[in-house]
Amino acid sequence: MGEKTGVDSILGISPSTADFVKEVAISDMFEIESSKLAEDKGNAPEKTFAAEMVTDHTKTSDQLKHLVGAGEVKADLPTALDSSHQSKLDTLKSESGKEFSSDFDSKQVSAHKDAVSLFERYAKGGDNADLKDWAGKTLPTLRHHLEMAENLKK
């Protein structure tokens, strides 16, 4: 069973390296694509948030690609969103105004809670030293993103 079942996060079990890489890559792709939508459709606070998300998640995506590309991490990087994230993105594409804002804001809180959990568990118990170190160094930024996302909903 892969990370997707949610059981691992409930039990606090560290994801495998392959699952961690896959989840991070998909999460980054979703953050970038949904934030690009918010840069067009969102209100002023969402546009500010979205610009930071595009910048930060492009950076983490590049760092992850470097770790995998350098051979330090043995895993495959997905090149497209999984069906669950694609469905969320398609929903956002079809929305506008308050409906978009409400949905975008709640999806950002949810996505960042998942990301913080994923990175915390890997930083604590991951089996690749380079990736564990990177996960630990990335966590403060993700916690900041979660705080920002929660403030969007206020």
What integer is the mean pLDDT of 57-82?
Answer: 92
pLDDT of residue 119: 96
| 6 inside domain | no
DSSP secondary structure code for residue 12 in this structure: T
CA distance 141 to 144: 5
Mean pLDDT, residues 67-83 taken together: 90
Burial of 40 (0-12, 13-18, 19+ CB in 10 A): exposed
The total domain count for the chain is: 1
Instruction: List, for residues 9-24, the tens digit of each pLDDT value.
Output: 556 678 899 999 999 9
Give domain status of residue 143, yes or no: yes
**Does residue 34 sit within a domain?**
yes
| pLDDT 10s digits, 56-66 | 999 999 999 99
Per-residue pLDDT tens digits for 113-141: 999 999 999 999 999 999 999 999 999 99
Please state, in angstroms and rounded to a whole number, the distance separating the CA atoms of residues 68 and 64. Answer: 6
| pLDDT reported for residue 5 | 45
- Residue 67's CATH number: 1.20.1260.10
| Structural domain includes residue 26 | yes
Considering the chain, what percentage of its residues have pLDDT values greater than 90? 83
DSSP states of 37-105 as a string?
HHHHHS-HHHHHHHHHHHHHHHHHHHHHHHHHHTTSS--PPPSS--HHHHHHHHHHHH--HHHHHHHHH
